[in-house]
Amino acid sequence: MAISFPSTEYFEALKGQMAAQPEKFRRLGFIDTTFGVRVGQNGKARNFVLEFEVFDLKNVREVDAIDLRRVDFAIEGDSRVWREMLENISRNGEADSLHDINTLAHFGEQLKIVYDDPDGHDKLYRFMESIQKFFDLSSKVEVSFS
């Protein structure tokens, strides 16, 4: 059964995959950050807040809007870009270097990182390997795009 992206079910599925590989994420170290994911489509957007703690995704929820004061940062992008990234992941088992979050967000032209406090922004990079490996788990999930 394909899981549609974006949805809380999708992130829950990644959460399950993450929990199934504790050693991999333990090796990467603590991941203590809460961030937003915003997927835009036709002028509208769906927003999610992902709360990571220790080695796990603790909680994910869909929200009407992301309050930047309550997250470290948010990754925003058009559904087209997200889809391209996830399809790339599912083809390669992980994002290639043209499709990882760092590259897509580097100049803010594909994905964009928004934040209230630069300290929160820097957490993206402090935990980048874990965050990227989290999204790479998408290769283990059958995803459909609405």
Partner 1 sequence: MAFYADKDYTVDETVLEAANQVMAGNLGLHWYDAKTEKVKGKPSDPRRGLTYQDLDLGSYGYTQIPENLRTSQSMVARGSEKVGVLPDMGYVVNRKSDVWADNVTDLYEEDKARRWTPAIDVPWAELDAHPLPAPVEAACSQLYTFLQECSLVSLDFAARWVPLINQDFIEQKSWLCAQMLGWARLGEAFRKRALYGGAGLGRASNTAEQGLKEWLWADTFPHGSLSINLSLGGFVLAICRHVAAFAPSKADRVLHGFAMQDTARQTAYGLGQLRYFLSHRANELPATQSYVDFTEHVMLALLGSPELLEPLIIISGGGLEKEQVRSGRLAVSKFIPLVVSEYLERLEAAGMSGRRERSRIPSVIDQIQVAA
Binding residues (CB under 8 A) for partner 1: these are 28-30, 32, 54-56, 97, 100, 102-103, 106-107, 117-119, 121-129, 132
* Pick 21 or 41: Cβ nearer partner 1: 21
For the CB of residue 121, give the shortest distance to partner 1 in the complex, in Å: 8
DSSP H helices in 7-73: 8-20, 22-28
In this structure, what token pair is assigned to residue 111? 């994905």
The DSSP code for 134 is H
For the CB of residue 103, give the shortest distance to partner 1 in the complex, in Å: 4
* Pick 30 or 145: Cβ nearer partner 1: 30
For the CB of residue 26, give the shortest distance to partner 1 in the complex, in Å: 9
Spatial contact of 94 and 138, defined as CB atoms under 8 Å apart: no
For the CB of residue 106, give the shortest distance to partner 1 in the complex, in Å: 4
For the CB of residue 101, give the shortest distance to partner 1 in the complex, in Å: 10
DSSP H helices in the chain: 8-20, 22-28, 79-92, 101-105, 118-126, 128-136
* Pick 32 or 78: Cβ nearer partner 1: 32
Distance CA 146, CA 6 (A): 8
Q: Determine the straight-line distance between the first and last CA of the chain, rounded to whole angstroms.
A: 14
* Pick 49 or 131: Cβ nearer partner 1: 131
* Pick 122 or 142: Cβ nearer partner 1: 122
* CA dist list (Å): 7 to 62, 77, 108, 138: 8, 15, 23, 13
